[in-house]
Chains A and B, each alone.
Chain A
Amino acid sequence: MIQYLFLIGCILLLIGAIAALLIRPVKQALFFVVVINVLALVVNLIFALMRLIALPAVTDLFPVFPDNASLFRADGLALFFLLVITAVAVPTIISAYTYLQHYLHKEASVRSFLTSFSLLLLSTQVVVFVNHSILFLVFWELMTLTAYLGMLLEKEKEEVQKGSFVYFATMHMATFILYIFFFLLHDHFGSWLFSDYHLSLTTGTIFYLVCGFGFLGFGIKAGFMPMHFWLPWAHPIAPAPLSAFLSGVIIKTGIYGIFRVIEFCSPLPVWMGIAILVLSVFSAIFGVWYALAQHDIKKLLAYHSIENIGIIGIGIGLGVLGVTYSVQSLVWLGFGGALFHIFNHAIFKTLLFLGSGVICNNCHTRDIEKMGGIVHHASWFVALFLIGSIAISGIPPLNGFMSEFLIYKGFFNASASLGNYFPLLMLLLAVGLAFVGGLALVCFTKINSIMFLGTERSKLQSFIVSRSEYTALGILASLCILFGIYPQSLLGIISSVITFNHAGIILQPYKMFTHWEFLTVIFACVLLTIVCMILWKKFNTQQRISQAWGCGYTPLTPRMQYTASSYADEINSISSHMLHLEKDVTAPKTLFPQQSHFISHSDDFSEKKFIAPIYRYIINKIDTFELLSRTDIRFYITFMLIMAIIYGGIAIVWPH
């Protein structure tokens, strides 16, 4: 029975994709697709959970689809990613139901969005099971393309065209790099199957080449700095459910790829672990620092994805070091922290992106400087968004803290068990992570207080949050709380995933790393104190409502409130050179102030210094090839013939 579960799920998704085009009217199609997708995802979620729970007992790979063990295989890692994908996709599709209601007047766009989103869900779930390079590339490409088509929901807007093109072009560059990656692997091993790839340092240059191309290709997808530049372009313009899925899942497939590259290599060299660690810390710190300078809510969240990818990378780096030095506990803490953070980030980032979709649809802007006072319209919504914000800032008692806690434990473990220069390195990394936590706290207090608190900066008639949106956000928020207070539920699964995927690692009971119950006790203490105090406040005091204290100044207006720029200025002004923060200020000077204005804008370092010059260089050079672009078709046929001859020649000469 369980053999067929995943197949059923995939077929249901396909039916959804086709139904989106056929059923009339579009409103019914929307309802049908949402229902059938939720059904399919729940089936796949059950499949993932059943397999994961059975994981410690099985010794062999089991087929995903019946009677086919070589092209698709379900190992621990793939099943864990399926769990992440389905857990995120269910709330996403539920909230998409309301989100798309706003676009029902554009029938064709909605239909195309629904089809591509269903196919996106399908290809993302299949891609993690693929064991064959060519098939992997096919599904990888399908994933990229359907996400691109989904982004075009509002294709008449210029920013959408531009942002989606940046995504499209960057992803194709990444795929091109992956072509080379798989070509090299096939050339060396003579097989297309992932399970046949076993690189070691003795294989010479090929090792470095494969690692380099693999990390580059998958790193672009994951959004490591400095390959992150497409994220702040693609996220703001994508429809909220898609940007939630993009950030929650699709960039994680890059991480999935990196896990696979690491699996191909054994033994792992030390430099690889250290390189991943350094790159990741760099991503984490600068990701959050850039986020601090943004006013666009979705762009800000996109930069936070880069930060969190950095944190996941730190975990992977620690795990690699653990494998290199064969320190079992470090492997567990590193990879375990990374996997747990993948899950957690998927949960809270989806919550935040779906929340931002609700906000954008109600306020008709993405600029947080124009919002404010939303809490007086929808306090439950604000509470849910706040849960996501606390979780992403890595603050207890929510799930974001738990995975960071594992990674911190990994630092301590590495320094104790590796010795040498490692204590110093690990301390610096720990300080880096603490710094990231501090900046994330500033950033999320910023967006919560500017968007929700205080008074309205521009008039807000009503703030409607539909039932489906509340359901989606509620599911995600309760998962944040569940895995914060009771992380043991997932840690057991993660433990068996690591054991399954790393031969030679003995199953480590997660209990041995800390007294998890103590954490629960501490959070229970905090919660208990909070409840006691609230009760005491309720019964013991008189309350009165009055005007805010203006320090003697009475005509306060909403425009006098602190803004996002002024709130973050204390930190941003220190690093304005690094951030390319540009301020255009005309301050009032005379007694009778003239017109004054303030505009601030932050450019991306890697985009401005790294990508744009290369792009300009290519654009300039491409002109020299102008003689190749003829109007006559015979020229093109000649070119094709020439290329075919060149390829054929190479194929004959190639040593085999």
Chain B
Amino acid sequence: MAALIFQELLPFLFILGISPLLVGLINKQKALLSGRRGAPIRQPYYDLFRLSRKETIYASTASFISRLAPVVSFSAILVAGFMLPIGYMRPLLSFSGDIIVFAYLLGLARFFQILGAMDIGSSFEGMGAAREAAFAVFAEPIYFFTIGSLAFVSGYTSLYEVYLSIHLDNPSSLVFIIVSSISAFFLMVTECSRMPIDDPSTHLELTMIHEVMILDNSGIDLFLYQYSSYIKIMIYGIFEVLFFNPFSLQNQWLGFFLFVMLLLLLTTVVAWVETMTARLKIKSIPQYLLFATAIGILNLLIYTFVR
């Protein structure tokens, strides 16, 4: 019984509770790798707490869209998060076809985030929104070439079943999974606005994507945007980690332990990549994303013919 309750509470714990910690870990390791002491790991929680108590300022040109957008985008991302299996346990919401609903809920979040940015009428936000929209178009196929191809190969259409169907024992499938996970990493980097697509810690508006879209948001709206960006990192982190699923079928708890370890490892990888690479030129981002798509296609071709 206790185990069952734990399973039910786990998504809330991970998606709502631990997601800021993940960002804290990434930032701390980034600081350590570049030779700084860095902010404490708990810093994202402090930030969120501070933002939630601040006054909210709206631009004089803002309409009801600005007031609605952060809320819709947060809610959609949150509910999408509950569709992911955490540690190979059955997620809260799982049914056949949920991989499509998952992708399109994130689309809903993006739609409103873009509208919220354009609502101000400032060209800075417009620039961020245009970039976000354009890169999302190129990121969408990656999702379908990674998790979608797994679904087509396995015949399942719910995220939970698709991930359970992964077996690493067969060499061609191993290659398939590894290459897919690389594509998925590209996807994560794009969707979560991390390096080398976007620099989350830059301070020049012209070079930003995600940060410049929320330039005019403050207080509770900024809180919602920040929180949803933390949740997004958690979602795509889980998304990435679940590709490696060697033990889950024998032992759920061992699988869970491994899942947490892999998530920690992922923070190190992200921090390492962010320290080692420079941000790409905006013009070359589509090429980068098309490259990720291309390896997805190649991978699928290899898998189809080797199998």
Residues of A that sit less than 8 Å from B by CB: 372-373, 375-376, 379, 382-383, 386, 390, 393-397, 401, 404-405, 408-409, 411-412, 415-416, 423-424, 426-427, 430-431, 434-435, 437-439, 441-442, 444-446, 448-450, 452-455, 513-515, 518-519, 521-522, 525-527, 529-530, 533-534, 536-537, 540-551, 556, 558, 560-562, 566-571, 574
Contact = CB atoms under 8 A, between A and B. Distances in A.
Contact of B155 (A379, A416, A424, A441): A416
Contact of B130 (A405, A426, A569): A569
Nearest to A524: B79
Contacts of B54: 541
Contacts of A373: 61, 121
A424 B61 CA distance: 49
Nearest to B92: A525
A567 B123 CA distance: 10
A626 to B, nearest CB: 52
Interface stretch (B94-102, B169-177, B181-189, B244-252): B94-102
B129 A445 contact: yes
B296 to A, nearest CB: 9
B157 interface: yes
Contact of B100 (A408, A452, A543): A408
Given A423-B152, A530-B75, A547-B59, A561 B107 contact: no
B200 interface: no
B144 A427 contact: yes
B104 A401 contact: yes
Interface string B88-112: 0000010111101101110110110
Interface stretch (B191-199, B214-222, B264-272): B214-222
Interface stretch (B18-26, B134-142, B234-242, B273-281): B134-142
B60 A546 contact: yes
B34 interface: no
Interface centre among B96, B144, B205 (most CB of A within 10 A): B144
18 contacts: A375-B64, A379-B64, A393-B111, A409-B97, A415-B155, A424-B304, A441-B107, A441-B133, A453-B65, A522-B79, A525-B93, A526-B75, A530-B72, A537-B56, A549-B59, A549-B215, A551-B205, A561-B126
Interface centre among B55, B61, B136, B151 (most CB of A within 10 A): B61
B79 A525 contact: yes
A537 B52 CA distance: 10
Given A390-B111, A393-B111, A412-B157, A562 B61 contact: no
A435 B137 contact: yes
B268 to A, nearest CB: 31
A366 B158 CA distance: 44
Given A396-B105, A445-B129, A453-B121, 14 more contacts: A409-B97, A431-B148, A437-B107, A438-B107, A445-B118, A454-B61, A454-B119, A522-B79, A537-B56, A537-B220, A541-B219, A543-B58, A547-B60, A574-B286
Contacts of B79: 522, 525-526, 529
B153 to A, nearest CB: 7
Contacts of A408: 97, 100
A579 to B, nearest CB: 15
A448 B112 CA distance: 11
Given A401-B104, A426-B152, A537-B71, A514 B95 contact: yes
Interface centre among A396, A431, A530 (most CB of B within 10 A): A431
Contact of B118 (A376, A435, A453, A540): A453
Contacts of A546: 57-60
Given A396-B101, A562-B127, A518 B93 contact: yes
A530 B103 contact: no
Contacts of B82: 525
Given A375-B63, A445-B115, A567 B107 contact: no
B78 interface: yes
A431 B141 contact: yes
A416 B153 CA distance: 8
A442 B75 CA distance: 21
Interface centre among B105, B136, B145, B205 (most CB of A within 10 A): B105
A453 to B, nearest CB: 5
B220 to A, nearest CB: 5
A454 B57 contact: no
Contact of B61 (A379, A444, A455, A519): A455
B104 A533 contact: no
Contacts of A545: 57-60
A526 B129 CA distance: 23
Contacts of A515: 95-96
Contact of A449 (B119, B140, B148): B119
B101 A434 contact: no
A101 to B, nearest CB: 28
A415 B149 CA distance: 11
Interface centre among A375, A434, A518, A536 (most CB of B within 10 A): A434
Tell me the dominant secondary structure on chain A's binding face.
helix
Contact of A541 (B56, B118, B131): B56
Given A376-B63, A396-B101, A548-B120, A449 B300 contact: no
Contacts of A409: 96-97, 100, 157
B48 to A, nearest CB: 14
The 8 nearest A-B residue pairs measured at CB: A562-B126, A454-B121, A449-B118, A570-B134, A529-B75, A548-B59, A438-B137, A438-B140
Nearest to B76: A526
B292 interface: no
A397 B67 CA distance: 20
B14 interface: no
B149 A427 contact: yes
Contacts of A540: 52, 220
Nearest to A567: B130
A257 B164 CA distance: 45
Contacts of A556: 122
B63 A541 contact: no
Given A544-B56, A570-B131, A412 B64 contact: no
Contact of B104 (A395, A439, A525, A537): A395
B140 A437 contact: yes
A541 B131 CA distance: 31
B84 interface: no
B74 interface: yes
A415 B173 CA distance: 18
A452 B130 CA distance: 16
Contacts of A450: 118
A541 B304 contact: no
Contact of A434 (B74, B103, B134): B103
B45 to A, nearest CB: 18
B298 to A, nearest CB: 12
A566 B134 CA distance: 12
Contacts of B63: 375-376, 379, 382, 452-453
B143 interface: yes
A515 B158 CA distance: 11
B281 to A, nearest CB: 13
A550 B56 contact: no
A545 B119 CA distance: 14
A571 B134 CA distance: 6
Contacts of B216: 548-549
Given A396-B108, A548-B121, A551-B124, A522 B93 contact: yes
A541 B218 CA distance: 11
Contact of B122 (A430, A534, A548): A548
A130 to B, nearest CB: 38
B114 interface: yes
Contacts of B52: 540
B115 A453 contact: yes
A160 B76 CA distance: 44
B224 interface: yes
B148 to A, nearest CB: 6
Contacts of A452: 63
A571 B121 contact: no
Given A430-B148, A543-B56, A442 B137 contact: yes
Contacts of A541: 54-56, 219-220
